[in-house]
């Protein structure tokens, strides 16, 4: 078990190193950092001196090691566009994106899991077929269209909810949260639904497929043959076995939620990391792009490590040693 976790940890470190390498290559090879940092009036000699100071003439590996080392110490360099430290820029934006992502993920789980279970247990019912058809449309409508439709309906036509920004926020130890004001929650509703709908349909369809597979298994048939009460059969026996593959995919989805928040943030002018990333692409602000990449990958890897531990908690086959 410890070995299983350790193996995953090593894989995670590999993924992070690879992403860091990607970010570094971006920084180093896409455009010349010196010309980006200096103006036209800087002399060639000054440019060379700066190049030497920054260590850009060192061997590639040395530069990469230094780059990684700096990152580990929280030094992410400076933005070409704003000349601010990238670390600060990103850190300011993380709470907005994370809060949005978590609420969206919760929506997708709270609605998606029960809907998946229901459609698996009554596959031929009218309600199930309707839900399935709706979700099919759900995966087919681009996130930005859902956003526009929600804005149009609840923002423009009905005027119930705000259509841009975070509304009122509260500072809690450097974390700017919209969870503590009514205004903040009102602003959060539409973007979170927009972001959650796509994940919801995925979750639902996955739960349904896995649940149907489990319901067909021998141990469910055997439990039925023993007369185990239906409720217990569905929720204790079947659902638990369904959740093992489901949590893996949800872990993978979390990355998708954070990434797709780029679109949602753009539609709702939500001041998160995604919006920052979009701006940095428009201005070819390579350091910000690279750091965003590393941060996203870090969240992804972290969530998947947590998923692996959940796995161990749920599945005794990973927890207890086999007997002969």
Partner 1 sequence: MLTIKDLSVKFPSRFGDVTAIEDVDLKIRPGEIHGLVGESGAGKSTVGAAVIGLISTPGYIAKGEITLGDTDLRALTPEQAHAVRGDRISMIFQDPQTSLNPLMTVEDQLIETIQTHSAVSYAEAQNRAVDLLEEIGIKNAAERIKSYPHQFSGGMRQRVVIALALCTDPELIIADEPTTALDVAVQQQVLDLLRDLADRRNIAFLLITHDIGVIAQIADRVTVMRNGKTLESGETAQVLGHPQHPYTVALMDAVPPLDHKIPRFRLPVEDDIAVQSKTKGADAKAWLLAGEQTAPTGLSVNNLTMRFRGTRTSLWQKPDSFTALDDVSFTVRPGTIMGLVGESGSGKSTLARVLTGLLHPSAGEMTLGDANLPPAKQRSRHHPSRRLMQMVFQDPYSSLNARHKIGAILAEPLWLYGLVNDAKQRRALAMAMLDLVGMPADSIDKYPHQFSGGQRQRIAVARAILARPKFLICDEPTSALDVSIQAQVLNLLKDLQATFGLTILFITHNMSVARQMADDMIVLRNGKIEETGPSEALFSKPAAPYTRTLLKLTPKMPPEWRTA
Partner 2 sequence: MIALLKRNEAVWLFVHSPAAIIAAVVAIAIILGAAFAPWVALVDPYDLSSFSLFDGLLPPVWEDGANPKYLLGTDDQGRDMISSILYGARLSLFIGLAAMTIATVLGVSLGLAAGYYGGRFDAIVMRIADVQLALPAILTALLIDGIARGLLPADIQQELRVWVLTLAIALSLWVNFARTARASTLVQMNKDYVQAAIMMGQRPIRIMFVHIFPNILGPLLVIMTVDLASAILLEATLSFLGIGLPADSPSLGTLIRIGMQFLLSGEWWILWIPTLFLVALVVSINVLGDFLRDVFNPRLR
Piece of 91-99, 109-117, 143-151, 316-324 that binds partner 2 (CB under 8 A): 143-151
For 72-101, the DSSP string reads: HTT---B-TTT-SBHHHHHHHHHHHHHHHH
Q: Could you tell me the smallest distance in angstroms from the CB atom of residue 268 to partner 1?
A: 41
Of 260, 301, 311, 284, give the one whose Cα is nearest residue 144: 260
Report CA Rg, the chain.
24
Among 160, 219, 235, 283, binds partner 1 (CB under 8 A): 219
Closest CB to partner 2 among 94 and 176?
94
The interaxial angle of helices 239-268 and 86-121, nearest 10 deg, is 130
The Cα–Cα gap between 15 and 32 comes to 26
Asked if 197 touches partner 2 (CB under 8 A), the answer is no
Yes or no: say if 58 and 67 are a contact pair by the CB < 8 Å rule.
no
Asked whether the beta carbons of 211 and 235 are under 8 A apart, the reply is no
**By CB under 8 A, residue 314 contacts partner 1:** yes
User: How many angstroms separate the CA atoms of 93 and 219, rounded?
Assistant: 49
Residue from 79, 163, 241, 253 in contact with partner 1 (CB under 8 A): 241
CB of 36 to partner 1, least distance (A): 45
Closest CA to 265 of 195, 160, 170, 198: 195
Part in contact with partner 1 (CB under 8 A); list of ranges 101-109, 222-230, 279-287, 289-297: 222-230
Burial of 172 (0-12, 13-18, 19+ CB in 10 A): exposed
Residue 136 or 170 having the CB closest to partner 2: 136
DSSP sequence for 215-268: HTSHHHHHHHHTT--HHHIIIIIIHHHHHHHHHHHHHHHHHHHHHHHHHHHHHH
- Say which entry of partner 1, partner 2, none residue 317 contacts (CB below 5 to 8 A, set by partner kind): partner 1
Choose the one of partner 2, partner 1, none that binds residue 231, judging by a C-beta under 5 to 8 angstroms depending on kind: none
C-beta of residue 312 within 8 angstroms of C-beta of residue 1: yes
Binding mask 207-246 for partner 2 (x = CB under 8 A): --x--xx--x------------------------------
Residues near partner 1 (CB under 8 A) are 2-4, 6, 217-219, 221-230, 232, 236-237, 240-241, 314-317, 320-324
Residues of this chain that bind partner 2 (CB under 8 A): 11, 14-15, 18-19, 22, 26, 30-31, 123, 133, 136-137, 139-145, 148, 151-152, 156, 209, 212-213, 216, 252, 255-256, 258-260, 262-263, 266, 277-278, 280-282, 284, 286, 289, 293, 296-297, 300-301
């Amino acid at each position: 078990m410890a070995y299983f976790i350790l193996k995953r940890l090593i894989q995670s470190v590999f993924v992070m190193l690879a992403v860091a390498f990607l970010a570094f290559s971006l920084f180093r090879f896409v455009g010349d950092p010196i010309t980006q940092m200096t103006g036209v009036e800087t002399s060639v000699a000054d440019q060379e001196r700066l190049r030497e100071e920054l260590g850009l003439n060192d061997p590639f590996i040395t530069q990469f090691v230094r780059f990684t080392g700096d990152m580990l110490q929280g030094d992410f360099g400076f933005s070409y566009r704003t000349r601010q430290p990238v670390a600060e820029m990103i850190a300011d934006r993380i709470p907005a994106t994370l809060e949005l992502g978590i609420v969206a993920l919760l929506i997708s789980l709270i609605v998606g899991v029960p809907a998946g279970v229901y459609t698996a247990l009554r596959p031929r019912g009218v309600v199930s077929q309707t839900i399935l058809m709706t979700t099919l449309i759900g995966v087919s409508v681009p996130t930005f269209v859902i956003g526009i439709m929600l804005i149009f309906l609840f923002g423009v036509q009905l005027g119930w909810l705000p259509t841009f920004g975070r509304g009122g926020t509260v500072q809690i130890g450097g974390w700017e949260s919209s969870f503590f004001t009514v205004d903040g929650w009102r602003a959060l509703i539409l973007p979170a639904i927009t972001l959650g709908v796509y994940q919801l349909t995925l979750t639902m369809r996955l739960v349904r497929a896995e649940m149907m597979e489990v319901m067909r298994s021998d141990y469910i048939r055997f439990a039925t043959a023993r007369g185990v009460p239906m409720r217990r059969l569905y929720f204790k026996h079947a659902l638990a076995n369904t959740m093992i593959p489901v949590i893996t995919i949800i872990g993978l989805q979390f990355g998708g939620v954070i990434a797709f928040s780029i679109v949602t943030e753009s539609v709702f002018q939500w001041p998160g990391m995604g919006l920052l990333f979009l701006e940095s692409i428009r201005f070819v602000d390579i350091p910000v792009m690279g750091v965003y990449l590393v941060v996203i990958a870090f969240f992804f890897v972290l969530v998947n490590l947590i998923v692996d531990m959940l796995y161990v908690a749920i599945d005794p086959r990973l927890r207890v040693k086999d007997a002969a």
